[in-house]
């Protein structure tokens, strides 16, 4: 078998991977386009809380030297940023209230719990709830490893 035919056949063998990749990308984009049907006031409040969580995660990441803490802070920021995208909230330019570093984790936990409470009675929020649970998981791990 010639090298050209061999290359052509092996290329066809992996075409499904490219199609699968396109399907995943389309599904992800579709998931980001859908957002729970929240009243504007609640959506704004949620976006504000998620932005503050994002900023607190950034502060934690910038002040820690432990790789584990940096990774958990990154997970926290990624979840908050995706939640903001889910609700079509841009990153706010306002600065959150300055807090001493020992209050960053409790404040972020409080905000994540408030966000979760805001969404728990509404249907169709499974992705947003999963994101906030991910934030809480990262925050509890940060608290546990100190």
Question: What is the b/e burial string over 115-144, where b = at least 16 CB atoms within 10 angstroms of the residue's CB?
Answer: bbebbeeeeebebbbebbebbbebbeebee
**Do 131 and 80 fall within a single domain?**
yes
Domain count of the fold of the chain: 2
Give the span between the Cα atoms of 105 and 83, in whole angstroms. 19
Tell me how far CA of residue 49 lies from CA of 1, 34, 80, in angstroms.
Answer: 63, 20, 9
Question: Based on the domain organization, do 45 and 21 belong to the same domain?
Answer: no
What is the chain's percent helix, strand, coil content, to nearest 5? 75, 0, 25
∠ CA 44-77-105 to the nearest 5 degrees? 90
What is residue 9's predicted lDDT score, i.e. its pLDDT? 58
pLDDT digits 0-9 by tens, 88-121:
766 555 566 677 889 999 999 999 999 999 888 7
Q: What is the pLDDT of residues 6-53, one digit of tens each?
A: 555 555 666 766 776 677 666 666 654 554 467 888 888 999 999 999
- The DSSP secondary structure of 57-123, one letter per residue, reads HHHHHHH---HHHHHHHHHHHHHHHHHHHHTTPPPP-SPPPP--GGGHHHHHHHHHHHHHHHHTTST
Residues 7 and 50 in one domain: no
With the CA atoms of 103, 100, 79 and 73 taken in that order, what torsion angle do they form, in degrees rounded to the nearest 10? -100
Residues of the domain holding 119: 38-145
Check whether residue 8 and residue 50 sit in a common domain: no
77 and 111 inside one domain: yes
Whether 140 contacts 131, CB under 8 Å: no
Regarding whether 122 and 101 lie in a shared domain, the answer is yes
State pLDDT tens for residues 70-80.
999 999 999 99
Share the mean pLDDT of the chain: 82
């Amino acid at each position: 078998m010639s090298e050209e035919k061999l290359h052509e056949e092996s290329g066809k063998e992996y075409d499904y991977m490219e199609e699968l990749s396109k399907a995943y990308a389309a599904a992800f984009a579709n998931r980001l386009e859908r957002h729970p049907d929240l009243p504007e006031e609640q959506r704004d409040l949620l976006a504000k809380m998620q932005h503050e969580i994002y900023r607190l995660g950034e502060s934690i990441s910038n002040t820690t030297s432990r790789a584990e803490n940096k990774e958990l802070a990154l997970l926290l920021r990624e979840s908050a940023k995706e939640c903001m995208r889910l609700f079509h909230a841009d990153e706010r330019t306002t600065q959150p209230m300055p807090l001493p570093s020992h209050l960053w984790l409790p404040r972020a936990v409080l905000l994540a719990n408030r966000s979760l409470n805001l969404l728990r009675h509404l249907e169709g929020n499974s992705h947003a709830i999963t994101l906030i649970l991910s934030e809480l998981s990262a925050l509890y791990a940060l608290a546990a490893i100190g």
